[in-house]
Structure 1
Amino acid sequence: MPLNFSVNFSRLGPGNTEVSFDLVAGTFSTAQSGVAGSVPTLDYDAICTNGHPVAFSLAQVWDAPSFTQSPSTNVNRVVVQAPSCSNNLQGIVRLEDNSGSVVGGYQVSGSFEFATTQETCSLTTEYGCPLGGGYSCMENSSGTQQCSPNTCVDLDSQPPVTEDINTDMFQDDGARASDGTCLGQMLIFSGRSMRCDKAGVSTAFQNCCKNTGKVLADDTGDSGSPTQAITQLFDALTQGKSEYEAALAAGAPTLVASNLAANKATDVMGDYGAVMNPVAMAGAVVDYFTQSCDQTSTETGILNGSGFCYEIGEYCREKWEFVGCVQKSKSYCCFNSKMARIIHQQGRSQLNTIGGFGSPENPDCRGLTPEEFQSIDFSKIDFSEYYGDLVPDTQAQMTDKVNDGITDFFNSAQ
């Protein structure tokens, strides 16, 4: 719908005045003292979601109610910077006193009028966009219904193009000799390609890559159960969610329900040998299950927040014809422990057989072969980030735990 508004300023003459104003904040500022003014507060999203221009209409005399002196008619009113979506609806105007008087006793004033288009969705029997039926209503960042920046798409006749990464993980299922020795290719510290969805159509425009804090911890980085910790994490969250919803239904306060959910999820993960932070787990259960985050995004967000993942980059996971990318995602290589991630992140650069971690669309998270593992100079690996998790152990104990963890990982793959 059309939106007309004005910004008004006045100061007692003689002299010129320049004023900066912010239509989003509804404020103004100037180097001169004694300036009276009024600035409206506008909804940036309602105007700028579809990039509507803000057009200057006219400038005229303004009689400020706080002054008893009359406004001068010998004023040149100049728009130095027009407000626009590109400058966050901020403008600058100048009032030039052309009276030639040195006595004063009059107002140097101006009313600057602008016009634009504001998109709001009015609630009658249902939300309806004033741009027409080709647009739907959606919540903006302030929770107000506004017109979507994209026209509606018939996904039956124009199916979306989805490009997802392969999140399968290498399994310990190769052929073995009678004595249990692996007959195939051994891989040490294998990772898993994972992704989380940014705000988009698949997440109801919620950010599923948010960091909820450190939930998982490993104090040796061994191979006994962290793989299960990755694959069973969603099961723990699901059971935590059930506990949370049951507690709320029984009338428990949110804080109590969160703690019960955290305890349940922690118990489940404890069955797989993972060390967890109950407070962070409570936040994870509530945050992810009150948003539209899928299993992969949930697992990735928690593992990444715990320091188990290396971020590779961003890619478009879903595209709509005539619209473009409607769902962006971040891809990662996630490992069974923080120590495994550190070894991969710093050790791969020493090898000429594996290189980097692939591309965002096709991550390379394979484990290290025994030959690659033995080729790494561990004296060049900085484990200080991992040592922080081992406090209050002594420096010698920290070093022993790191060395024992590496040895255990290698020996378990024999």
Structure 2
Amino acid sequence: MSCLSLQLGLLLAASALSPIAAQAQEICAADLNGNGDAADPGETASCLATQSGTWQCPLQQALCTVTVTGTYACPLGDQFACEVPASGGEPTCSPNPCQDAAATPIVEEPPISDPGVPADGAVDANGNCTANIEIFSGRAMRCRPPGLLDTFQNCCKDKGKIVKDGMGSSIGSIGTKIAVAKAVFTGMKAAFTAFKAGATAGEAAGAGAHAMIAGIDPTSIAISLAVNFIFEVLLAGCDQEDMETGMLRGSGMCHEVGTYCTASVLGICIQKARGHCCFNTKLGRIIQEQGRPQLKVFNTVGWGTPKAPYCRGFTPEEFQALDFSKMDLSEYYADIEARTQGQLQIDMKDRIDAYMQAIGK
């Protein structure tokens, strides 16, 4: 059984701790489902004080039994001590010991923080691009499913299509779509910065939404969904990259590469993350998914690893070599066909409302 201890405050970051609980520096964790880590809900718990001044893990806790000699014995094994809870009651035991939190530091992987390929590279005197050209390039990103460090909230939860892909002539150019992706990043950063500075979740959400629509066509962002999304993830303990990935993921712009461990103690994973390649458009993600198998250069590296997704775009030569007749673009066509006249009218209303919000009227 894998066990470890951590700072109690990490587990209860959003809760008001009592004076007794605030002194508790031990928790325990156990791989209850046998998958090799303790990152799933219910596999980490704060240790409970006992009348003898020790701590006991509540995971797999059992009542002690009375022996023929009148003493207590742990049904899980004699090696586990029977202790009376500090609150009173029958003696209990647990197979999962608590350890000193100060002696078990958390080893945490930082966010991926991939800025992606700059939209504008260096040019020569004649205006020719001197940098490498990448078509439908993406960014390596991650979001965290429920775990200890995000207070068991799902920071990868889809909240609907917030970033709109393909709004007619108003967002027809690649440059504008890149601007939309940049706006998402700017908005998430603004919201997270405001929240850390003491703003309420609502105020931070408003700041993030305002930053997202500043300088771009506001109809490319579903403002009401964006505000609700930012508000929810801030209260859930998600960080800036969680927020950005979740928004793009829910909008169909991300390819999930896989899951990896992003935080551990004593070699035991306590928090997982999902690595993605996220693109400026949903169409870009679809073409990447169906174009890569056609090119030998991607055969060995594929999408990289969950911890280090490989998200580069196609070179002009690679893009010209793609056979679009072998691609299934029905997912993208379905989105276009589903746009009824009523939805187009709603988009126009969103355009007007968002613009009025942007100018403060």
Asked if Structure 1 and Structure 2 have the same fold, meaning a TM-score greater than 0.5 normalized by the shorter chain, the answer is yes
Which whole-Å CA distance do the structure 2 matches of 1:271 and 1:151 have between them? 53
Which of structures 1 and 2 has the bigger CA Rg? 1
| Match for residue 183 of structure 2 among 217, 222, 232 | 232
Counterpart in the other structure of 1:342: 286
Amino acid at match of 1:284: F
Counterpart in the other structure of 1:50: 59
| Match for residue 212 of structure 1 among 146, 152, 159 | 159
Counterpart in the other structure of 2:126: 179
Counterpart in the other structure of 2:109: 163
Counterpart in the other structure of 2:229: 284
Structure 1 stretches of 4+ moved >4 Å: 43-46, 53-57, 117-122, 237-244, 260-264
Structure 1 residues without counterparts, runs of 5 or longer: 1-42, 58-116, 125-129, 133-146, 395-414
Give the number of the structure whose residues are more often strand, by fraction. 1
Q: 1:49 to 1:212 in 2, by over 3 A?
A: farther
Q: 1:161 to 1:329 in 2, by over 3 A?
A: same
| Match for residue 329 of structure 2 among 376, 379, 383 | 383
Offset of 1:162 from its aligned partner? 2.8
Q: How does 1:117-196 map to 2 (within 5 A)?
A: 151-155=98-102, 157-164=103-110, 165=112, 167-172=114-119, 174-196=121-143
Offset of 1:318 from its aligned partner? 1.2
Counterpart in the other structure of 1:197: 144
CA RMSD in angstroms comes to: 4.2
Offset of 1:311 from its aligned partner? 0.4
Q: 1:281 to 1:311 in 2, by over 3 A?
A: same
Aligned residues: 261
Amino acid at match of 1:51: Q
Which whole-Å CA distance do the structure 1 matches of 2:235 and 2:275 have between them? 23
Q: Is the 8 A contact 1:198 1:329 kept in 2?
A: yes
Is 1:327 equivalent to 2:327 in the alignment? no
TM-score (norm 2): 0.60
1:105-148 per-residue CA deviation (whole Å, 9 max, x = no partner) reads xxxxxxxxxxxx999996x9xxxxx989xxxxxxxxxxxxxx9x
Counterpart in the other structure of 2:317: 371
Q: 1:120 to 1:216 in 2, by over 3 A?
A: farther
Offset of 1:229 from its aligned partner? 3.0
Amino acid at match of 2:293: S
1:380-401 per-residue CA deviation (whole Å, 9 max, x = no partner) reads 222221123324679xxxxxxx
TM-score (norm 1): 0.53
Offset of 1:53 from its aligned partner? 5.7
Q: Is the 8 A contact 1:202 1:327 kept in 2?
A: yes
Give the number of the structure whose residues are more often helix, by fraction. 2
Which whole-Å CA distance do the structure 1 matches of 2:157 and 2:315 have between them? 33
Q: 1:242 to 1:294 in 2, by over 3 A?
A: closer
More relative contact order, 1 or 2 (CA 8 Å, 6+ apart): 2
Offset of 1:359 from its aligned partner? 1.2
Counterpart in the other structure of 1:295: 240
Which whole-Å CA distance do the structure 2 matches of 1:181 and 1:390 have between them? 35
| Match for residue 351 of structure 1 among 286, 292, 295 | 295
Offset of 1:377 from its aligned partner? 0.8
Q: How does 1:12-23 map to 2 (within 5 A)?
A: none
1:354-412 per-residue CA deviation (whole Å, 9 max, x = no partner) reads 23211112210001101111111111222221123324679xxxxxxxxxxxxxxxxxx
Match of 1:353, SS? helix
Amino acid at match of 2:161: K
Match of 2:247, SS? helix
Offset of 1:292 from its aligned partner? 0.8
